[in-house]
């Protein structure tokens, strides 16, 4: 048995090397499921057809391609894979403590594609994640848009721009986290804003110039100022949210409010400014001064104000396997069921600029989807399968994989993300 498994494994490895993007070439039809496409009404007793890692059809009556493998998934629910708009899986790190603004630093240079946390996130239904450096800096570096393929290198699990380079955003932060007594770091909120403004003014001069002399930091900032690289702005208190939007308006970058625990207090201003919020709902308020106003009602309030709202894990703050639970809590406190499920999928894809590829089940999009055995928001429901680009990368019925859904000996050691270490992770890890 082990021999056969090894043979299979090496065959798979060869196949992956030979045709990395077309591993699934036999069309597969999933029939009989309740399909929540996130692009319109839920389809009862529908069919999903995938081929070459893409969705080719979804609906109640679809053409079955010749030679297609047919799978009866009656009683199951199929929905898009989760787009986690803020995660720290893979042992990610970014800036070091030498300065508060380090746009040249790339998350992709730190991530371990073999980190157990990635397999666990997949078991939790996550198929795309914005993996970010921490918030202890005004600008801690370039984020990494991860597609949770079964990859061996960072390139294997990357989204790419049209020019073939690795895709991501830019992590910024305000409020208390970047304020430190270290030399060069801000001591107040006003200083934080002034340092950021000064840096962007300098970048504007570089970007408008001939750019003959290469400068990694300025090049990244030109991508921010040009709108290619979205700013993911860690901010909590309502006034800090407004400061982030003020900076955005001054320099014209694209921005997602990250966390925004008090964003609900200025929901109408955020909606008016058409700014997306990548939110997190935590089990209780507090844990730090800026989190004292946290509310489970935030999701519903933002939704009703018309804000494009996603829910994220901030893994390890919330384990990636608890994403549906968070959506359930959002509904408990006033978000619509549809809105909460969109907040896990298509809304996140939109705010990351990936909605042409993922976030909903529509022809032409990546075949990233989940097979669940019931209501996604129920505690009694399990994720049976996670598919990424037409490949089944998590299967609960396989005990060797099921362990990633639960943890325990054999689930592998996770790499502690720097973000967690920065804010009490040593404590989280060691008991107290």
Partner 1 sequence: MSARKFTIAAAIVASALSSTALAQDLVVRGERVYTMAGAAIENGVVVIEDGKIVAVGPEASTEVPEGYEQLSARVVTPGLVDAHTVVGLTGYSNQPDEQDFLETSSPIQPELRAIDAYNPDERLVDWVRGFGVTTLHTGHGTGALISGQTMVVKTVGLTVDDAMVERRAMVAGNLGPGALGNGGKAPGTRPKQIAMLREALLKAQAAPEKKDEKPKRDLQAEVMRDVLAKKLPLMITANRAQDIMGALRLKQEFDLDLVIDGAAEAYLLLDELRDAGVSVILHPTMTRQFGDYANASFTTAAALREAGIPFALQSGYEAYVPKTRVVLWEAGFAVGHGLAFEDALRTVTIDAARIIGVGDRVGSLEPGKDGDIAMFDGDPFEYTTHVTGVVIDGVVVSREAN
Q: Minimum distance from CB of 372 to partner 1 (Å)?
A: 12
Q: Minimum distance from CB of 243 to partner 1 (Å)?
A: 21
For partner 1, the closer of residues 207 and 333 by Cβ is 333
For partner 1, the closer of residues 67 and 408 by Cβ is 408
Helix/strand/coil for 429: helix
Q: Minimum distance from CB of 256 to partner 1 (Å)?
A: 19
309 beta partners: 277
Q: Minimum distance from CB of 426 to partner 1 (Å)?
A: 8
Which spans of this chain sit near partner 1 (rule: CB under 8 A)? 120, 282-289, 291-292, 294, 316-317, 319, 321-322, 325, 328-329, 331-332, 377-382, 405-409, 411, 413-414, 416, 420, 423-425, 427-432
CA-to-CA distance for 214 and 193, rounded, in angstroms?
26
383 beta partners: 372
CA-to-CA distance for 44 and 35, rounded, in angstroms?
6
142 beta partners: 106, 170
CA-to-CA distance for 275 and 267, rounded, in angstroms?
10
Query: What would the two tokens of residue 119 be?
Result: 């397999």
**Alpha helix ranges (H) inside 276-345:** 298-305, 323-332, 337-344
For partner 1, the closer of residues 228 and 332 by Cβ is 332
For partner 1, the closer of residues 32 and 425 by Cβ is 425
For partner 1, the closer of residues 1 and 380 by Cβ is 380
- Residue pair 113/152 in contact by the 8 Å Cβ criterion: yes
For partner 1, the closer of residues 164 and 408 by Cβ is 408
For partner 1, the closer of residues 148 and 282 by Cβ is 282
CA-to-CA distance for 278 and 87, rounded, in angstroms?
11
For partner 1, the closer of residues 59 and 407 by Cβ is 407
Q: Minimum distance from CB of 422 to partner 1 (Å)?
A: 10
User: Quick one: DSSP state of residue 72?
Assistant: E
CA-to-CA distance for 52 and 68, rounded, in angstroms?
12
Query: What would the two tokens of residue 61 be?
Result: 């009556």
For partner 1, the closer of residues 39 and 402 by Cβ is 402
Q: Minimum distance from CB of 295 to partner 1 (Å)?
A: 11
φ, ψ for residue 194 (rounded to 5)?
A: -65, -40
User: Within 10 A of 201 (CB to CB), how many other CB atoms are there?
Assistant: 11
Q: What is the DSSP string of 169-205?
A: -EEEE-SSTT--SSTTS-SSHHHHHHHHHHHHHHHHH
For partner 1, the closer of residues 236 and 350 by Cβ is 236
DSSP H/E element including 402:
helix 399-406
User: Within 10 A of 271 (CB to CB), how many other CB atoms are there?
Assistant: 16
Indicate the Cα dihedral angle 10, 16, 22, 25, nearest 10°: 0
Query: What would the two tokens of residue 7 be?
Result: 């043979």
Q: Minimum distance from CB of 55 to partner 1 (Å)?
A: 29
The residues near 42 (Cβ < 8 Å, ≥ 6 apart) are 34, 35, 36
Radius of gyration of the chain (CA): 21
Q: Minimum distance from CB of 329 to partner 1 (Å)?
A: 5
User: Within 10 A of 22 (CB to CB), how many other CB atoms are there?
Assistant: 14
Q: Minimum distance from CB of 299 to partner 1 (Å)?
A: 12
For partner 1, the closer of residues 207 and 416 by Cβ is 416
Q: Minimum distance from CB of 136 to partner 1 (Å)?
A: 13
Q: Minimum distance from CB of 310 to partner 1 (Å)?
A: 18
């Amino acid at each position: 048995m082990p021999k056969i498994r090894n043979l299979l494994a090496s065959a798979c490895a060869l196949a992956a090397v030979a045709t990395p993007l077309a591993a699934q070439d036999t069309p597969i039809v999933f029939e009989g499921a309740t399909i929540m496409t996130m692009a319109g009404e839920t389809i009862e007793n529908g069919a999903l057809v995938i081929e070459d890692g893409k969705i080719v059809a979804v609906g109640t009556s679809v053409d079955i391609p010749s030679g297609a493998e047919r799978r009866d998934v009656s009683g199951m629910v199929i929905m898009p894979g989760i787009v986690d708009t803020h995660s720290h899986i893979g042992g990610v790190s970014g800036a070091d403590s030498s300065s508060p603004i380090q746009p040249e630093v790339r998350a992709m240079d730190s991530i371990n594609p073999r980190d157990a946390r990635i397999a666990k996130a997949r078991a939790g239904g996550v198929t795309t994640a914005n993996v970010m450096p921490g918030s202890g800096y005004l600008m801690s570096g370039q984020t990494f848009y991860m597609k949770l393929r079964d990859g061996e290198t960072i390139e294997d699990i990357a989204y790419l721009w049209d020019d073939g380079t690795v895709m991501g955003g830019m992590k910024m932060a305000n409020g208390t986290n970047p304020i430190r007594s270290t030399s060069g770091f801000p001591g107040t909120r006003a200083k934080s804003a002034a340092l950021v403004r000064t840096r962007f003014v300098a970048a504007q001069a570089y970007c408008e110039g001939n750019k003959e002399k290469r400068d990694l930091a300025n090049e990244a900032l030109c991508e921010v100022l040009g709108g290619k690289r979205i700013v993911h702005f860690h901010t909590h208190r309502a006034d800090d949210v407004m400061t982030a939007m003020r900076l955005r308006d001054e320099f014209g970058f694209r921005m997602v409010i990250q966390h925004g625990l008090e964003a609900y207090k200025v929901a109408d201003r955020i909606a008016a400014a058409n700014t997306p919020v990548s939110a997190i709902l935590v089990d209780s308020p507090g844990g730090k001064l800026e989190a004292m106003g946290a509310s489970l009602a935030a999701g519903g309030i933002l939704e009703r104000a018309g804000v494009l709202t996603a829910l994220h894990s901030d893994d390890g703050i919330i384990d990636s396997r608890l994403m549906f639970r968070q959506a359930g809590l959002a509904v408990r406190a006033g978000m619509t069921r549809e809105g909460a499920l969109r907040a896990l999928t298509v809304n996140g894809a939109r705010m990351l600029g990936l909605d042409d590829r993922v976030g909903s089940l529509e022809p032409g999009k990546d075949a990233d989807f989940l097979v669940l055995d019931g209501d996604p928001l129920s505690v009694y429901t399990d994720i049976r399968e996670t598919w990424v680009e037409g490949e089944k990368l998590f299967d609960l019925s396989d005990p060797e994989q099921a362990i990633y859904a639960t943890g325990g000996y054999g689930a592998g050691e996770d790499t502690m993300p720097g973000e967690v270490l920065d804010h009490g992770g040593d404590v989280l890890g060691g008991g107290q």
